[in-house]
Amino acid sequence: MPQPALDTHAEVRKLKQAGCPEEQAAAMVDLVSRAPVNAQIANSLNRLEAKVDSIEANMARMATKADLELLRAETKVDRAEAKADIEALRASMTRMLWIQGLALATLIISLAGIMLGLGAMPA
């Protein structure tokens, strides 16, 4: 709400009549007349500071979002690498089981041959 205009000349006159020197009266009236402007400047400064704080908070959130996106991408890569490692281990274990199975089958056949051979030998 706009302040009513201050009649600075009338105010200086009143202060002079009250015994105040003219220069001091003029300075006092000038100071008082600037108070609403100073209050408006202070109010504008407070609003500006609030906007700056809001912008800084938004920028911090944006950095956090970017960090999360980077982390998400790195996690996808790590997960794909882990899957590949698991598949390689699975293939290696399958080969090892086949080799062990073949070795066991060879052992059984060998033992069966020995057993049959021992049974066929004359005593």
In the predicted model, is pLDDT for residue 3 greater than 70? no
Q: In Å, how far are 52, 54, 117 from 58, measured between CA atoms?
A: 10, 6, 87
Tell me the percentage of the chain whose pLDDT exceeds 70: 91
User: Which residue is associated with the tokens 């009236």?
Assistant: 29
Q: What is the pLDDT of residue 88?
A: 95
Confidence of residue 74 (pLDDT cuts 50, 70, 90): very high
pTM of this prediction? 0.42
